[in-house]
Amino acid sequence: MSVRQVSTLFVFCWALQRQGFFPGIIFFLTLWFPSACRARIVGRFMVAVPVSTVIGSPISGVILDMEGIGGLHGWQWLFLIEALPALLMSFAILHYLTDRPALATWLKPDERNWLQERLDAERADRENVFRVGWLKSMVTPRVLALGAVYLCFITCQYGLGFFLPQIVKNFGLTNVEAGFVTAIPYVIGAIGMVHWGWHSDRNCERKWHVVVSIVAVMVGLGLASTIDSPIIKMAVICIAGWGLFAFGPVFWALPTAFLSGAGAAAGVAAINSFGNLGGYFGPIIFGQLRDWTGTDFAGLIFLSSFALVGIVIVLLLGHNPALERGARTAPAAAV
């Protein structure tokens, strides 16, 4: 099986599980955490992505070298071994998680009541400004626009993520060495994800935090397309890596600021589903451009251009911070 076939299969499997799991968790967090701390909480959840890559990249390099053991290819061992932790965690989640604070027996009664009342009050505030059913929430213009932003982001994330090991491998490194070097942007991204979500909550600001993170992606990928030096190229890829991971926690605070209840569940799922189309187009188009040109230049410019489109959409959309401050007088026109 070729590298492209393995990458395509991995993209398909990854995108398939994200369709249910990821939007479900984002919605789940809205049932537990008030808007004022949501970006940092989403950041702490999503930091598992870069951290798992930091840990998994070197391990994956070792697993890929298991070629022929037990009659299996290295990539087959990769799929089998790395699926086990997720399967085991499913039993722990089923036992531990509750849908709402009111059902959490491990919280004190006063803690349960305070948190549930706070969340109910915020939901009432949002519904005074923007209230739609689950079906309409999936096709409202703002949700579709956020889906387009997420499409731009996922295109960049998957396009870079699935070809970064090959870019690094071209530096003349072994599988294991490439695994360690590939992990560097994810370390930077993990730090950015936690810090940027906290910074956004602290300043009660979303739009410009999203814009800055996408600008970092655009600039990092654009510069990487023109640089040959391995060290400098990795440095600017780290800038893009910071932007790619800093983006998520703040972005998901945008739809959950105006959607609630069933509308939030459906709206977040619609944004995630629309955006995950980038999980197909990013790697496929990047790989095709790489084959046609023999370099990464065109593919990185393609990804950088998508980041620019995302910036423009976010700037045009704007954001009403009053919706996250529990203000019952939040102006409906500024949703």
Residue 23: predicted pLDDT: 81
In the block, residue with structure tokens 């990854």? 14
User: What mean pLDDT do residues 126-136 have?
Assistant: 72
pLDDT band at 19 (very low <50, low <70, confident <90, very high): low
Based on the number of CB atoms within 10 Å of its own CB, is 3 exposed (0-12), middle (13-18) or buried (19 or more)?
A: middle
Band (102; pLDDT cuts 50, 70, 90):
confident
Residue 71 vs residues 9, 63, 66, 143, 176: alpha-carbon distances, Å: 20, 14, 10, 48, 22
Which has more confidence, 15 or 30? 30
Residue 225: what pLDDT? 86
Please state the rounded mean pLDDT for residues 272-283: 86
The pLDDT value recorded for residue 195 is: 93
Length of the chain: 335
Would the pLDDT of 5 be above 50? no
In this predicted structure, the answer to whether residue 314 has a pLDDT above a threshold of 90 is yes
Question: How many angstroms separate the first and last alpha carbons of the chain?
Answer: 49
**Of 254 and 327, the one with more pLDDT:** 254
Return the minimum-mean-pLDDT range out of 125-134, 225-234, 245-254.
Answer: 125-134
Residues 41 and 230: their CA atoms lie apart, in Å, by 35
Q: Residue 325: what pLDDT?
A: 63
Tell me: pLDDT of 257 over 50.
yes
Confidence of residue 2 (pLDDT cuts 50, 70, 90): very low
Whether residue 28 has pLDDT greater than 50: yes
58 close to 176: Cβ distance less than 8 angstroms: yes
Q: Among 237, 243, 242, 188, which Cα is nearest to 213's?
A: 243
> Which H, E and C letters describe the chain, residue by residue?
CCHHHHHHHHHHHHHHHHHHHHHHHHHHHHCCCCHHHHHHHHHHHHCHHHHHHHHHHHHHHHHHCCCCHHHCCHHHHHHHHHHHHHHHHHHHHHHHCCCCHHHCCCCCHHHHHHHHHHHHHHHHHHHHHCCCCHHHHCCCHHHHHHHHHHHHHHHHHHHHHHHHHHHHHCCCCCHHHHHHHHHHHHHHHHHHHHHHHHHHHHHCCCHHHHHHHHHHHHHHHHHHCCCCCHHHHHHHHHHHHHHHHHHHHHHCCCHHHHCCHHHHHHHHHHHHHHHCCHHHHHHHHHHHHHHHHCCCHHHHHHHHHHHHHHHHHHHHHCCCHHHHCCCCCCCHHHC
Task: Report the pLDDT averaged over residues 145-165.
Answer: 88
45-85 pLDDT, tens digit each:
888 878 877 777 677 778 888 887 878 888 788 888 888 88
**Structural contact between residues 155 and 281, judged by C-beta atoms closer than 8 angstroms:** yes
Of residues 290 and 56, more confidently modeled: 290
pLDDT over 80 (residue 335): no
Q: For 87, what's the count of Cα atoms within 13 Å in the CB-facing half-sphere?
A: 6
pLDDT digit string, tens, across residues 169-195: 778 777 777 778 888 888 898 899 999
The C-alpha atoms of residue 242 and residue 160 are separated, in whole angstroms, by 13
Q: Is the pLDDT of residue 242 over 90?
A: yes
pLDDT band at 246 (very low <50, low <70, confident <90, very high): very high
- Percent of the chain whose predicted confidence (pLDDT) is above 70: 88
Instruction: Go through the domains of the chain in sequence order and give each one's CATH number.
Output: 3-334 (1.20.1250.20)
Position 197 scores a pLDDT of: 92
**So what's the pLDDT on residue 331?**
44
Q: In the predicted model, what is the mean pLDDT of the chain?
A: 81
